[in-house]
Amino acid sequence: MMKSPDDREFRNRERFQEISEERSRGELDRALSDAEQFSMAASMILRASGDNALREGLERTPERFSKAMAHLISGYSKTPEEAVGEGVFQAEGNGLISIRDVEFYSLCEHHMLPFWGTASVAYYPRKKIVGLSKIPRLVELFSRRFQVQERITEQLADALVQLISPKAVVVRVQACHLCMMMRGVEKQNSKTVTETTRGVEKLSALEAKRLLQAVGSSGVD
Ligand SMILES: [Zn+2]
């Protein structure tokens, strides 16, 4: 049977009505799957924009948005232990280990707009090291959520302390934020830098300097 846009419009409206009743009874979570909630939210945004949400280009947008979101916030579903799996090994020495410029994409929790950049990690191991390919997994884990850059930085440092308790670790994150670039102050080329350390006070001045230099930090800012 052919469905006219009017039918669909009517069914959507009925469904919205049902949902607002369910929501007022606190039953929304049970009433809709996550995918349905994302899709419904996208429909509402399109509707509120004043565009015709049923025109060809937008018709399947809520469904596409829902699928994209499932990927963009997939970092909620794992713990750091699960993300590194079998990737923790005995240290062979105690020299500095670093990985530079691991790319990431995240969503700012204040505007739900993308921010993206790179994370660099350096540490002096104690007894254990983490496979270098696992650090990008951790970056992925923490960035695929609604986030603030500072928290990604802290969570990476804490995860490494928790997984391998290194003698010292530094994490430096640089990112561009669409909520700054597309709106508000519209600073097109500004990069935000966040940095955190654990255990640096246990290092000699030379070791501390080398640790910070390994992530591109001068240690003076
Ligand atoms: Zn923002």
CA–centroid distance, residue 116 to ligand 1 (Å): 12
**The one-letter amino acid at 18:** E
For residue 126, the 8-state DSSP code is S
C-alpha distance from residue 215 to each of 77, 94, 121, 136, 196 (Å): 29, 18, 6, 15, 11
pLDDT score, position 172:
98
The verdict on domain 5-72 having CATH code 3.90.550 is no
pLDDT of residue 29: 58
Answer whether residue 2 shows pLDDT above 60: no
In the prediction, which pLDDT does 1 show? 45
Q: Domain spanning 78-214 has what CATH number? A: 3.30.1130.10
Domain boundaries, the chain: 5-72, 78-214
pTM: 0.84
* 109 annotated active-site: yes
Which tokens belong to 101?
């410029």
Q: What span, in angstroms and rounded, lies between the C-alpha atoms of 156 and 160?
A: 6
d(CA 147, CA 175) in angstroms, rounded, equals: 12
Percent of the chain with pLDDT over 70: 84
Given a cut of 60, is residue 191 above it in pLDDT? yes
Are residues 120 and 172 in contact, defined by beta-carbon separation less than 8 angstroms? yes
Q: 123-165: per-residue pLDDT in tens?
A: 999 999 999 899 999 999 999 999 999 999 999 999 999 999 9
Ligand 1 centroid to residue 194 C-alpha, Å = 15
Same fold, 5-72 and 78-214: no
Closest residue by Cα to residue 59 from 48, 68, 51, 67 = 51
Considering the candidates 111, 154, 176, 207, report the single residue annotated as catalytic.
111
- Sign of torsion, CA 84 134 117 97? positive
pLDDT digits (tens, 9 = 90+) for 6-24: 566 666 667 667 766 766 6
Predicted pLDDT of residue 9? 60
Specify the residue for token string 């950049």: 117
Check residue 189 and give its pLDDT.
72
At residue 28, does pLDDT exceed 80? no
Over the stretch 48-83, which tens digit does the pLDDT of each residue have?
999 999 999 999 999 999 999 999 999 998 999 999
Q: Which of 108, 147, 174, 195 is catalytic?
A: 108
**How far, in Å, CA of 73 to CA of 146, rounded?**
7
Query: Is 71 noted as a catalytic residue in this protein?
Result: no
Residues 6+ apart with CB under 8 A from 52: 58
Give the pLDDT confidence of 94-118 residue by residue, as tens digits. 999 999 999 999 999 999 999 999 9
Tell how far the Cα of 182 is from the centroid of ligand 1, in angstroms: 10
Could you give phi then psi for residue 194, rounded to 5 degrees?
Answer: -125, 145
Helix (H) or strand (E) holding 130: strand 128-130
- How confident is the prediction for the chain on average, in pLDDT? 89
179 CA → ligand 1 middle, Å:
5
Instruction: State in Å: Cα 15 to ligand 1 middle.
Output: 31
Task: Note the pLDDT of residue 120.
Answer: 98
* Closest by CA position to 108, among listed 73, 155, 160: 73
Query: How many Cβ atoms sit within 10 Å of the Cβ of residue 196?
Result: 17
